[in-house]
A and B are shown apart, each in its own frame.
Chain A
């Protein structure tokens, strides 16, 4: 319940404030969002498999976001930021897909 409320609050804040992303953060925000989505799907899958653990979820969520941002940051410093962020998005996309597939199997048994 509180999660749904928090999500609604986040969406409403984003829509109402319409914040401009700071220039320094611009390369990291999309990657961070994708990483967080990955963590979210992982959490849902774990919940369906009854191995969900709040601590694991929080840690994996934060760690995912930070590692993704770090990879992009390092890539920017090395001059391969664009390629690395593409790589991160691809890897996270694959993970999201496999998690989504597991969720689907649990929900629809197919």
Chain B
């Protein structure tokens, strides 16, 4: 065996000779075949790349591809149906949620007025009890509140203090009245929202609040009907410590 360098040089020489050689007939034939091969190769590559290979695929393969595509279309159609169903469900769910939210907001408003956490305004009366001598006691005011509630008062404010279900009135030792821990001094101003005629009538019946106040020395009750009474005093809502809702 000759060393590799010599072999390589020999090979290059042979190649040179082969390239330089005058084309004989067999070489022409070989050239023709190689040209044909190149032509076929390029044609096939081109045909495959332009048609994505589908046109040169066999009937069986095409049937397989078609069946695959059919299956896929079926699956996608089923997906569409599912998604439409969930879309519908979500939509109706959103609608229900919105209705529930609206309801809850309305309830919160109602409860806010009842519990005194929201300011309120509406038709009603303003009852002013002037008592320069400080003779009007808490029980008179309690009577007045009771009477107003009887007459359908929806929101009451007593001299800057919102009156709610838990409001308690006591005689304050220093004069005036203790309303749920806050001292209120005369003149007492009761802003009441409700049907103003009914409220005024309830206060003015013989032997009612007006008469009672009128019998107290120096005291005087004045009732003003108003188309718009605004109550801005608020109560802080306190979480009940003991009472819990009963589960139904």
Contact = CB atoms under 8 A, between A and B. Distances in A.
B33 interface: yes
A40 B56 contact: no
Contact of B44 (A1, A11, A29, A81): A29
Contacts of B61: 82
Interface in A21-74: 21, 26-27, 29-30, 32-33, 36-37, 40, 43, 48, 54-55, 57-58, 61-62
Contact of B34 (A10, A14, A54): A10
B43 A19 contact: yes
Contacts of B46: 14-15, 18
Contacts of A19: 43
A78 interface: no
A58 B44 contact: no
Interface residues of A, number: 38
Contacts of A109: 4
Nearest to A35: B37
A3 B31 contact: yes
Contacts of B133: none
Interface stretch (B21-29, B71-79, B81-89, B118-126): B21-29
A58 to B, nearest CB: 5
Interface of A: 1-11, 13-15, 18-21, 26-27, 29-30, 32-33, 36-37, 40, 43, 48, 54-55, 57-58, 61-62, 81-82, 109
25 contacts: A1-B21, A1-B23, A2-B27, A3-B27, A6-B34, A7-B35, A7-B37, A10-B40, A11-B38, A11-B42, A14-B43, A14-B46, A21-B44, A21-B47, A21-B55, A26-B47, A26-B55, A29-B47, A30-B44, A30-B48, A30-B56, A36-B37, A40-B34, A58-B26, A58-B30
